Amino acid sequence: MTTLLGLSPEEIQELIQVKEKFRSKQIYHAIYSGIESFDAITDLPLSLRQSLAENFCIFTSKVDTSLDDEGGNCKLRIELSDGLFTECVILSDGTERKTICISSQVGCKMGCAFCRTADMGFKRNLTAGEILEQYLIGSKIAGKLSNIVFMGMGEPFDNIDNLKKAITILNDKNAIGLGARRMTISTCGIIPGIQALAQSKLEIRLAVSLNSAIEEKRRQIMPITQRYPLSDLKSALKAFQQDKNKRFTFEYVLIKDFNMGDEDIKALRHFTSGLSVLVNLIPWNTVEGKPFQTPDRKDINVFCSKLDKLGINYTLRKRKGFGVSGACGQLAYKAKKN
């Protein structure tokens, strides 16, 4: 059955073939207000509600499993209509603020060596409706969600058309009405996506997974560097900064005995020069079978003290979601049920 999620009011009107434009707007508004069936849209004629129920649906996916930890974090494994799975993670900071980490693909084709999702390979892109369903399902489970980070499975800019459509609806005051500044797109460095975001009117935040400012090292763990070298990436980010006139974030996964030496820090200082950027330090989250080590507290403290001396702006990410295997780089599971 066809879902109406992810469609504009005009697309809904054409699909359901209703003459009155205001009816499609009513439906559009209602399906993002939390309803679970068309019968709940009581301001529609009964005949139209019945027709919608017979021919269309709202949700196409469902929660397969849910894992919670003591910190209020929750990982949802979501079964899609074709039997594939994706996931989203709801992160709590101990207050009323809750952030949902949303996936844009099933699996990923970027092949980052430290990430568990890369082991799945790429299955397919999520539709705009499937991206939105993660937010709506998460809202039903956790209540009001304050922020969205597109940092789940997949590379968001590798599914840019569906991503843009979902973001437009998330931002639309007649749909979900979440402010653009409450949304962050995390990319491994897809330059055309960064350029498209720079040219858009939405003030969405940008995070770039850097992990090493040394070209050879970054290529070892992030194959995308072969297509988009660091020099090109920095040029794109300078242009982004000029267009948006705001700071963005570098995500830097700390890997013991790999990217935490003096040469790594000097390269990072050189690469961040001329950019208004905050470096988000993320101690590597253990993934079984990966040949990396998580730095201990002493390693991290030494690294941070050296950043302080060089005046590099950074923050050390508090570990969230680890208890439900929902931390950065840990998202993956079998693609189909047995």
Superfamily (CATH H level) for 62-324: Aldolase class I (3.20.20.70)
Mean pLDDT lowest among 69-83, 95-109, 239-253, 312-326: 312-326
Q: Which of 87, 130, 133, 251 is catalytic?
A: 87
Is 87 tagged catalytic?
A: yes
State the first-to-last Cα distance of the chain, in angstroms, to the nearest integer: 24
Alpha-carbon distance values, 17 to 42, 59, 127 (Å): 19, 20, 22
Residue 218 CA to residue 257 CA, distance in Å, equals 14
Contact 68, 60 (CB under 8 A): no
- The active-site residue out of 88, 108, 115, 328 is 328
Tokens at 232, concatenated: 């090109």
Distance of CA 258 to the CA centre of its chain: 26
pLDDT in tens, 138-192: 999 999 999 999 999 999 999 999 999 999 999 999 999 999 999 999 999 999 9
Nearest to 101 by CA among 158, 168, 147: 147
Q: Report which residue type is found at 172.
A: D
Q: Are 130 and 123 in contact (CB under 8 A)?
A: no
Residue pLDDT, tens place only, 263-299: 999 999 999 999 999 999 999 988 788 889 999 999 9
Residue 201: its pLDDT value, please? 84
In sequence order, which ranges of the chain are alpha helices (DSSP H)? 9-16, 21-31, 46-55, 128-142, 160-171, 191-199, 215-221, 224-227, 230-244, 262-272, 297-310
What is the rounded distance in angstroms from the CA atom of residue 270 to the CA atom of residue 272? 6
Architecture of domain 2-57: Orthogonal Bundle (1.10)
Confidence class for position 92, pLDDT limits 50, 70, 90: confident
Rounded CA-CA distance 142/4 in Å is 23
The answer to whether 176 touches 198, Cβ cutoff 8 Å, is no
Global pTM value = 0.90
Q: Domain boundaries in the chain?
A: 2-57, 62-324
Contact 106, 123 (CB under 8 A): yes
Please tell me the distance from the alpha carbon of residue 274 to that of residue 27, in angstroms, as a whole number: 48
The neighbour count for residue 323, using CB atoms within 10 Å, is: 15
Q: What is the rounded distance in angstroms from the CA atom of residue 305 to the CA atom of residue 213?
A: 18
328 is a catalytic site residue? yes
AA identity, residue 5: L
Q: Which among 40, 148, 132 has a CA at the least distance from the CA of 89? A: 148
Calpha distance 108→115 (Å, rounded):
10
